[in-house]
Structure 1
Amino acid sequence: MKMKELLLFLSCVVCVSADALHTDIHVIGCSDFNGEVMFGLDREELWYADFEKQMGVSPQPSFIDPISFGAGAYKTAVSNLNTCRQNLQITREGIKDFPPLRDAPSGVMIYTRDEMELRVNNTLICHVTGFYPAPVKVSWTKNGRITTEGSSINTPYPNKNGTFTQIARLKFIPQQGDVYSCTVEHLALTKPLIKIYNVETPETPETPETPKPSVGPAVFCGLGVIIGLLSAAGGTFFILKANKCI
């Protein structure tokens, strides 16, 4: 499947407060068939437009006070997407003779969100970074079969060096012996990158046995003492006998 390159316009605003320094980011990206509009704070997604479901999504954790972007946020995102595609056509005409820049992912890792326990709900994370242009395509398998249930992927997040990071997730229940994989595809790759996760319980270390005392040294030691005492007694006997003869 051929993936289209994205033309991205990035707007970063650094906000300073009395307590800390925060980085606010607004990303607008588009191709002929796909688009992205996202707001983030300190490398975390606050809101993004889901153009397939035609709605805005706020992937903010439930334990924080949610940041609202208003009822008109999705409508504004659609307008920004249309403007992006108009600019894409103009830019394409202007740089059609320039070779495209492509960087393959520099790092792919697979790990669990929480410490792994058998038969306890968890999430597998496939972390992909260092690629350009965005996006990457990530697919999952379980025991060699493609699985999509419980899978998701965030919007591409820009790194400071101009490359991107994306994180794919898969909800799963660990069962002993199961094998999972995440497969990463990108324009700059000649073949997909695959990372494997094996569900295995850590082996319980064996308790070292307390060494049993050896009877050998004690026996030899006892014999040595007895022989020594007998020798001493014999010497005394001969001394007394010699004195008696005198």
Structure 2
Amino acid sequence: MKMKELLLFLSCVLCGSADALHTDIHVVGCSYIHGGVMFGLDREELWYADFEKQVDVYPQPPFIQLISFGDGAYETAVSNLYGCRQLLQLSRTGMKDYPLQRDAPSRVMIYTRDEVELTVKNTLICHVTGFYPAPVKVSWTKNGRITTGGSSINNPYPNKNGTFTQIARLKFIPQQGDVYSCTVEHLGLTKPLIKTYNVETSGMPETLKPSFGPAVFCGLGVIIGVLGAAGGTFFILKANKWI
């Protein structure tokens, strides 16, 4: 088993059973650069520590009943991160020269959170899964220029096969013709993966796209109806002529 794989799995606590209705998870993961501490329920994040901003985050929408982890949750996460890095150092000493596992993301998708309406606020989602080790780096561009305002990314979420999933988000206001892209970088990639979202072709809801099908069928129906009426009149007049 690879060094980082061993550490990450030792840092995960899964609670649940085959007949359980719900599954909760507590993840503590680290490298010498990155670190993550997260609590989740049924594959949804309930709480995580943002070590860059030095705060704890409750990412659930406001209509969900808040599950609090206490005032000292962030300080506890800092202690967990310190302990994780101590274990990392010990494992590095005991498993030196072990080859590192690097699995590139198996799938990257870009889509909107809500149905798109022009000039109405929405969120772009870049869904990255199937990679190891964590994390990935995701950057956004709008019309070819880097944009960071309104962007966020969750902590790596472990999959059952030992790989990870991360979801990056970008708040945006759809405008006709705008082009967005998310760029994914990972140790297992030889070059970044780029997924593009075009508001004109990808984001336009079906109600805003021109459609000629109903008009054509309606026109054909009128023509057939007129021909039918004309044919009926012809046969009536012809029948009257022979009476």
**TM-score surpassing 0.5?**
yes
1:32, 1:195 → 2: CA distance? 29
Which secondary structure state, in structure 2, belongs to the residue aligned with residue 21 of structure 1? coil
Unaligned runs of 5+ in 2: none
User: Number of residue pairs matched?
Assistant: 224
Identity of matched residues, %: 70
Q: Deviations over 1:173-219 (max 9, x none)?
A: 1001111111111100011111111112342212122453469x96x
2:199, 2:54 → 1: CA distance? 37
Which secondary structure state, in structure 1, belongs to the residue aligned with residue 91 of structure 2? helix
Shift of 1:29: 1.1
1:56, 1:112 → 2: CA distance? 26
What RMSD over aligned residues (CA atoms) do the two structures have, in Å? Answer: 2.8
Which secondary structure state, in structure 1, belongs to the residue aligned with residue 16 of structure 2? strand
Match of 1:94 in 2: 94
Match of 1:39 in 2: 39
Shift of 1:86: 0.8
How do residues 125-144 of structure 1 correspond to structure 2 at under 5 angstroms? 125-144=125-144
Which secondary structure state, in structure 2, belongs to the residue aligned with residue 196 of structure 1? strand
How do residues 205-224 of structure 1 correspond to structure 2 at under 5 angstroms? 205-206=211-212, 207-208=215-216, 209-210=219-220, 211-212=222-223, 213=226
Q: Max radius of gyration: which structure? A: 1
Which secondary structure state, in structure 2, belongs to the residue aligned with residue 22 of structure 1? coil
Instruction: From 204, 210, 227, give the equivalent of 1:204.
Output: 210
Which secondary structure state, in structure 2, belongs to the residue aligned with residue 88 of structure 1? helix
How do residues 121-200 of structure 1 correspond to structure 2 at under 5 angstroms? 121-200=121-200
Shift of 1:96: 1.7
Shift of 1:15: 7.2
Which secondary structure state, in structure 2, belongs to the residue aligned with residue 69 of structure 1? coil
Classify 1:107/1:170 alpha carbon distance in 2 versus 1 (closer, same or farther; 3 Å): same
Unaligned runs of 5+ in 1: 233-246
Match of 1:10 in 2: 12
Asked if structure 2 preserves the Cα contact closer than 8 Å seen for 1:16 and 1:22, the reply is no
Which secondary structure state, in structure 2, belongs to the residue aligned with residue 171 of structure 1? strand
2:15, 2:38 → 1: CA distance? 14
1:131, 1:194 → 2: CA distance? 15
1:16, 1:189 → 2: CA distance? 36
1:162, 1:25 → 2: CA distance? 14
2:179 is matched by which residue type in structure 1?
V
Shift of 1:54: 1.6
